[in-house]
Structure 1
Amino acid sequence: MTEQSLFSAFTAGDIALKNRVVMAPLTRNRARPEDDTPHGLHVDYYTQRAGAGLIITEATQISPEGKGYAWTPGIYSDVQVAGWKKVTESVHKAGGRIVLQLWHVGRVSHTSLQEGGKAPVAPSAIGAGAKTFDGEKMLETSEPRALELDEIPRIIEDFRKAAVNARRAGFDGVELHAANGYLLDQFMKDGANKRDDAYGGSLDNRTRLTFEALDAVLQEWEPGRVGIRISPFSNANNITESDPAALALHVVDRLAGYDLAYIHLIEGQTGGKREWPESVDMDDLKARSGTPWMVNNGYDRAMALAAVADDHADLVAFGVPFIANPDLVARLKLDAPLNQADSSTFYGGGAKGYTDYPTLDEAQKKAG
């Protein structure tokens, strides 16, 4: 492929994309506080970024139990479905494609964010030792309780119902969030999972919930409209795994049989160092998967161009650059300067730092 292949059309499963630049899922904490519903700001924000080949929404909780931070959106109520439907209709009208990321935070939560002040749930009663936001301040996550074996079907059913609601809301597909130290990742990694039943111990057992959730989603969506995000090498939210290389190979080999729209891999530490075990060959992982391959973690223009041109990736996801540059694809094509993101407005607030970043045309006009 040529260097400019990053900007060529690509079909991820059944989703036709106009380019290979993906807007990564980005938590921004701007849902309506009373019911965790997206609203007009979200319509504007995502529509502004419809130039992406694919938009992956911010992580969206599949149930009230799945919530870990204040003001994050859900996909379990009719009002949330209606709010998201306005987003998808506007993005589609602007020529974009958008999928919903399905999320259960597991132990990365606080009792103040759980219905009735209940303890968060996890594979084992081991605290995350991480931070969360309750709407007023940052605070330590609460100690979780271990899910009972007979509760697992309820979790799987919540993923299925969320997939139904995503279809009702008009999305082009869904992404299963199995990364970054949240519930599915907690089950997969042995630092958080000390169970001695069918969901603990061996790799088959620890990955069981992820694949059962995936199977549930596939009851409602064709495989070519379902993606999955994984981070086998990441310690995000203090998650640990004794053999991340073995986990990566196991998961990718299992996913190879699914014919999904894409596998979304975080290369290294989430939002941190791009490092993984020396025994892991990323290009071999891609080849083994037989699935459209999306990479993520600290990519800039030169890295993204090379990744696609060298067949290291089919799709490249950008996070922070999309926060500050609604027209990121156009800027990347022109190798134009990028707006710098204001980190003080990443989480919570209103339009400032959300929908008020100028496009290149707007910035040039303002400059005279």
Structure 2
Amino acid sequence: MTRAGTAANGTAGGTATARAFPNIALVKYWGKRDEAVMLPAAGSLSLTLDAYATTTAVTLDASAASDRFELNGEAQAGDRLRRVTRFLDLVRERSGSTARALVRSHNEAPTGAGLASSASGFAALATAASAAYGLPGDPASLSRLARRGSGSAARSIIPGVSVWHAGDGDETSFAEPVPAPEMRMVIVTVDERQKAISSREAMRLTALTSPFYPAWVASTEQSLEAMLEACRDGDFTRIGRITESHALRMHAVIQSADPPVRYLAPTSIAVFDAVSALRDRGVEAYATADAGPNVCVVVRPAEAEAVADELRGFGRVRVVGPGAGAELIDADPRLSAPLDASPGGDPAATGAGA
């Protein structure tokens, strides 16, 4: 753990480095009832992965006039920097500090491609910033804080399977662990490019324009209740069926927005079809996809490699399992090089969905 020189109020010399992993929702999050404090329209449930980590270092600088943000070795400007600064403003308000910070992050997953890079990113930032500024570091506090940066980041604080409670306010909307049977995911990356419309923008559009959105919220609450029961019972088959059905419902309601948004590519649909064909052959596999074209296939551990072999023709394939929650770590040498002074442009927000 790195937490060197942190003053009691986090105003000078605080440094902390944290790592968090993305999570893939089995019951999806799509829509907010309160954007100001990022409260979801319904609860959700996910699996935190053991791959595609984000590592983030936060270093306080009391003499700096503004925050700086570096992602994968490139200095950032525009919306990405604004989102980080808004998040740090919240941390500063809670800690009583005025110190600006240098934030350096490294994503192992493609950013903004529907593999939950914003979830791992804000979970790592919440964990490192809380340590650097002297805020509480218990899982519930970190989950509530991470939620304010990206809704699904609330779940990446928690290891393995977690449920994010919709709650009735800031204090009651957080994620916590859920006992569940062992499972693996086969990640099929069909397109690593950043998506044209962010999750956050598409989520707003869906809630405002889809005639099916109220039914989506109601059905999500029902799916979550059924999923929690399946997890308690260790019923892998029911977990898989709910996972695939709910994913297809989410993409259907997104496509019903005006104008329609389509995240699934033809290759994505082909992977869903291939997974269905595997089930016809007696192999239990169930497909899901967050807000992007890349597909995750839920399988039993013993069948993961065989399913991966079946799907290699559709894109880059990787088998992943349940991962650790967000945690403080030792300094990462990838985040210690001199800061690149050239701005990274004005990229779109990476999103906050699924």
Q: Give the alignment's TM-score, normalised by structure 1.
A: 0.30
Structure with more relative contact order (C-alpha pairs < 8 Å, separation 6 or more):
2
Q: Give the alignment's TM-score, normalised by structure 2.
A: 0.30
